Chain A
Amino acid sequence: MTVATPRDLEPGLQPSGWLRYFSFSLDHKVIGLQYLVCGFFFYLVGGLLAGAIRTELATPLSDFMPRDTYNEVLTLHGTVMIFLWIVPVVNGAFGNYLIPFYVGARDMAFPRLNAVAFWMIPPAGLLLISSYFLAGAAAQSGWTAYPPLSLTTPAAGQVVWILSVLLLGGSSIFGAVNFIATILKLRRPGLKMMQLPMYCWAMLGTSLLVVLSTPVLAGVLILLSFDIIAHTGFFNPALGGNVVVYQHLFWFYSHPAVYIMVLPAFGLVSEILPVHARKPLFGYTTMVYSIMAIVFLGLIVWAHHMFTSGTPPWMRLFFTIATSFIAVPTGIKFFNWLATLWGGKIALNSAMLFSCGFILNFVFGGITGITLAQVPFDIHVHDTYYVVGHFHYIVYGGTVFVIFASLYHWYPKFTGRLLNEDLGRLHFLLTFIGFNLCFLPQHWLGLNGMPRRVAEYDPTFTTLNQVSSVGALIMAISTLPLLINVVVTALNGKPAGDNPWNALTPEWLTSSPPPVENWKGAAPLVTEPYGYGQTEAQEAAR
């Protein structure tokens, strides 16, 4: 199968230079960077909202902002961080940039659909944010939008929220269809599935989850909007509706959503560790199987979010067992990463530091996750700050750390320049300290009686909340070295050469930044993307 390059598709219509990043470009590399920069903008927005939450919680009284504004802020914070920062960046940005290289193609399978998927995101994001200013009030019912609360809070904001999430979900589905088609159908002749870099497997698994579960979220949100606009009674108990059914349908998407945020990060780390440890990825085959096991198990664990809702005992038990078993394939992946590092020649650069930070944070979040899976344990800590601490260790300590590691690793590919290592290490140090200071104390707060989503709390919890707020402040400061680094390097950074890390994966076997058609000649056939140490082994044998 031959693929037309973007240039062939649109002769003369593709702008060049910096303007193409603001155009309906069909080049997968441009689209990838569009996702990345757009996502980072929304990360700053979500971070400001988080700062507002931590400022409110610096004192036990609700004294920083009005109470309904606080609920709007926490709803927007969750929605922005999940749907506009983590999901688009870890899937859309790195997926679009890397997958065509990894399968040996010149672009994604459906370049036009790809551009459409990206250009749904900025309007959806602006719509969501604007609801705070235009509709009178943004949604106030949390990112979970449980009815009947979401039916009784101001309707306009909630409907705009639904519309925005529907657009973002649609964008995510378009992206997933494209990834599945590209990975399965656009592989260079001679390249077998089991020779693909691990990120391809992670994206294949993630995309399957997106395609299987996101339509359910779309369905339930459309029903919810009927309840709000047309006063139907699907989830309105006053009209005979059932509020728990909403929770089942919502979590059927939103638990897999955790894996939609985490599996691509697993894939990216699997690319970064071998390069900077100079060792093959340990246990490739088991890594592939464990990704697929996580995909399957991820679809049958949703009700562990509902252990205190109206669920019958047998259901609580089933979901405890299914959830606990996710620890097995996840554990396999972590042991394999440790084995990849063992016996390597590890460069402790920014990419490696963030990857190791990811391992530590995610293992911690995984262990608290196992405790939460146990029904009797969860009945005490459900909907408390213990849960807030847990999932931030997964999505921030896990995925966002990997996004930063990936930025340091692939920035030379994007721009041809190396990010400054001193600023990078400072960025890591501030992020790691700030993050742990912010979220570790929250576990204790939850165990001892602080529920989540509150603007006020018992004064005995003041000290630890202030520690947490100081941590948040350090996290905010930690973005400064990153921003300075990215801007200064882009203008005046150290030239990286084509392959600064001596990596073996195919995206490095071309110039940096790559030409529009990815490789000047034919796409290289890379059957051993992790073949580190083989030349030494051959020389020793000689």
Chain B
Amino acid sequence: MPIRTVITALLATTALVLAGLWVGQGVNLLPLAASSNAPTYDALFRVLFSIGTTLFLGIVIVLGYSLVRFRRRSGDSGDGVALEGNLLLEIVWTAIPAVVILFVGIYSYDIYERMGGMVPLMDHAAMDHMAVDHMAMDHAAVATPQKRIWGGIGPAASAPSATSRLPTLPVDVTAMQFAFIFHYPEGDITSGELHVPVGQPVELRMSALDVIHAFWVPQFRLKQDVIPGQPTVLSFTATRAGTYPVICAELCGPYHGGMRTSVVVHEPDDYQAWLQQNSPATTA
């Protein structure tokens, strides 16, 4: 292979990768990031966006160049080169996607693990309960029924909770046509909006009354189906005070598009104030 071709190819590839990085790292297509999970997600997005842009640009350029350079001149009725294949090229372009896929796969597995996706799914509250029971009276623990959790995102190992040592805030979520109902076991509050404090891990224990719904907060980059008959969980830690939409993302009937509410992320003090205000014990 002539050295000039090699150098041109290398320069072109470098330019492509730089262009891909420039677009992928520079163009922001995502909404505000408001959970501890969102920045990791955004990093993954930028990597995929950069790789995708590089590949797409490369193919557009090769296709465009071929159409111009190898277009049929008028009056030419001959054929192109009788070239039927090239083993080296086949190996190269089998290897390129394979390597990219391997890298992307390992990287996204890492992200998924950091999100808490690989945490074995069990009812953590039930587990804590069992541990206490164990210390109190050994035989009673065996009788405690453990509720099966069918899917979701567990509490992340690297979540800020590990450093801030705040206990997980459990919230029961009930989805129905066409609303979400949030119930706080501590304080016995029921609300149509989700209120959470900044920095404290939250565990949503979700169940549906009628059909399948899905709980989605775009600013948290998280979604989980809420399934009748099969409890699911979703853990997250909000990092930014504000009000964000909670959206049902699974077709659930005529008013599916209207099944929306808000999640209000408070500063910890404001959250305590909200708790005080709404707790039935204090209002009564």
B130 in contact (CB, < 8 A): no
A237 — which chain B residues lie within 8 A by C-beta? 227-230
B55 in contact (CB, < 8 A): yes
Per the bound structure, the CA–CA distance linking A374 and B76 in Å amounts to 48
B121 in contact (CB, < 8 A): yes
Contact of B82 with A312 in the complex, beta carbons under 8 Å:
no
B108 in contact (CB, < 8 A): yes
B228 — which chain A residues lie within 8 A by C-beta? 148, 237-238, 243
Contact partner of A533 (CB less than 8 A), chosen from B80, B85, B119, B252, is B80
Per the bound structure, the CA–CA distance linking A524 and B94 in Å amounts to 36
Number of residues on chain A facing chain B (CB within 8 A): 101
Q: Which of B4-12, B95-103, B160-168, B180-188 contacts A (4 or more CB under 8 A)?
A: B95-103
Contact of B80 with A343 in the complex, beta carbons under 8 Å:
yes
Contact with B along A62-95 (1 / 0, CB 8 A): 1000111011000000000000000000000000
- Find the B residue at minimum CB distance from A326: B101
Q: Which of B196-204, B255-263, B268-276 contacts A (4 or more CB under 8 A)?
A: B255-263
Cβ of A307 to closest chain B Cβ, rounded Å: 9
Contact of A280 with B84 in the complex, beta carbons under 8 Å:
yes
A279 in contact (CB, < 8 A): yes
A140 — which chain B residues lie within 8 A by C-beta? 253-254
B94 — which chain A residues lie within 8 A by C-beta? 286, 328, 331-332
Contact of B249 with A451 in the complex, beta carbons under 8 Å:
yes
A309 — which chain B residues lie within 8 A by C-beta? 151, 225, 227
Per the bound structure, the CA–CA distance linking A336 and B92 in Å amounts to 12
Contact of B80 with A279 in the complex, beta carbons under 8 Å:
yes
Contact of B253 with A346 in the complex, beta carbons under 8 Å:
no
Given contacts A284-B85, A458-B245, contact A380 B41 (CB under 8 A): yes
Contact with B along A524-539 (1 / 0, CB 8 A): 0000001111111100
B254 — which chain A residues lie within 8 A by C-beta? 66-68, 70-71, 140
Per the bound structure, the CA–CA distance linking A149 and B178 in Å amounts to 13
A5 in contact (CB, < 8 A): no
B66 in contact (CB, < 8 A): yes
Contact of A243 with B72 in the complex, beta carbons under 8 Å:
no
Cβ of B9 to closest chain A Cβ, rounded Å: 13
Contact of B70 with A148 in the complex, beta carbons under 8 Å:
no
Q: Which of A357-365, A403-411, A480-488, A511-519 contacts B (4 or more CB under 8 A)?
A: A357-365
Contact of A342 with B70 in the complex, beta carbons under 8 Å:
yes
Contact of A280 with B230 in the complex, beta carbons under 8 Å:
no
Beta-carbon contacts under 8 Å, A303-318 to B: 308-313, 316-317
Given contacts A278-B79, A367-B56, A370-B52, contact A141 B251 (CB under 8 A): yes
Beta-carbon contacts under 8 Å, A39-61 to B: none
- Find the A residue at minimum CB distance from B100: A327
Most A CB within 10 A of own CB, among B70, B90, B223, B257: B257
Given contacts A62-B257, A148-B210, A321-B105, contact A449 B150 (CB under 8 A): no
Given contacts A338-B63, A376-B41, contact A279 B229 (CB under 8 A): no
B119 — which chain A residues lie within 8 A by C-beta? 313
A244 in contact (CB, < 8 A): yes
Most A CB within 10 A of own CB, among B76, B86, B93: B93
Contact with B along A331-363 (1 / 0, CB 8 A): 110111011011111111000000010011001
Contact of A341 with B67 in the complex, beta carbons under 8 Å:
yes
B84 — which chain A residues lie within 8 A by C-beta? 280-284, 530
Contact of A324 with B101 in the complex, beta carbons under 8 Å:
yes
Contact of B80 with A310 in the complex, beta carbons under 8 Å:
no
A215 in contact (CB, < 8 A): no
A523 in contact (CB, < 8 A): no
Contact of B117 with A367 in the complex, beta carbons under 8 Å:
no
How many A-B Cβ pairs are below 8 Å?
A: 292
Cβ of A375 to closest chain B Cβ, rounded Å: 5
Given contacts A279-B79, A308-B225, A532-B80, contact A376 B108 (CB under 8 A): yes
Contact of B230 with A152 in the complex, beta carbons under 8 Å:
no
Contact of A374 with B59 in the complex, beta carbons under 8 Å:
no
A454 in contact (CB, < 8 A): yes
Per the bound structure, the CA–CA distance linking A536 and B79 in Å amounts to 7
B245 — which chain A residues lie within 8 A by C-beta? 449, 458
Per the bound structure, the CA–CA distance linking A130 and B60 in Å amounts to 44
Per the bound structure, the CA–CA distance linking A534 and B84 in Å amounts to 11
B214 — which chain A residues lie within 8 A by C-beta? 308, 382-383
B71 in contact (CB, < 8 A): yes
B248 in contact (CB, < 8 A): yes
Contact of A345 with B251 in the complex, beta carbons under 8 Å:
no
B22 — which chain A residues lie within 8 A by C-beta? none
B218 in contact (CB, < 8 A): yes
Contact with A along B30-67 (1 / 0, CB 8 A): 11000000001100110010001001100110110011
Per the bound structure, the CA–CA distance linking A412 and B232 in Å amounts to 58
B212 — which chain A residues lie within 8 A by C-beta? 146, 148-149, 243
Contact of B150 with A310 in the complex, beta carbons under 8 Å:
yes
Contact partner of B225 (CB less than 8 A), chosen from A281, A310, A343, A367, is A310
Contact of A375 with B117 in the complex, beta carbons under 8 Å:
yes
Per the bound structure, the CA–CA distance linking A435 and B214 in Å amounts to 29
Contact of A242 with B255 in the complex, beta carbons under 8 Å:
no
B151 — which chain A residues lie within 8 A by C-beta? 308-312
A320 in contact (CB, < 8 A): yes
B120 in contact (CB, < 8 A): yes
Contact of B66 with A341 in the complex, beta carbons under 8 Å:
yes
A447 in contact (CB, < 8 A): yes
Contact of B258 with A456 in the complex, beta carbons under 8 Å:
yes
Contact of A313 with B31 in the complex, beta carbons under 8 Å:
no
B221 in contact (CB, < 8 A): yes
A24 in contact (CB, < 8 A): no
In the complex, given contacts A242-B230, A348-B72, A374-B105, what are 20 additional A-B residue pairs having Cβ atoms less than 8 angstroms apart?
A: A71-B256, A146-B212, A237-B229, A244-B150, A278-B80, A279-B80, A308-B224, A308-B225, A311-B151, A316-B112, A345-B70, A363-B56, A376-B111, A380-B222, A382-B223, A447-B29, A447-B30, A448-B30, A454-B257, A455-B256
CB pairs A–B below 8 angstroms (29 shown):
A67-B255, A71-B256, A148-B211, A152-B211, A238-B228, A244-B150, A279-B81, A286-B85, A308-B223, A312-B121, A313-B117, A317-B112, A330-B97, A338-B62, A342-B70, A343-B70, A344-B70, A360-B63, A368-B52, A371-B45, A374-B108, A376-B44, A379-B115, A382-B249, A447-B29, A448-B30, A448-B218, A449-B245, A458-B245
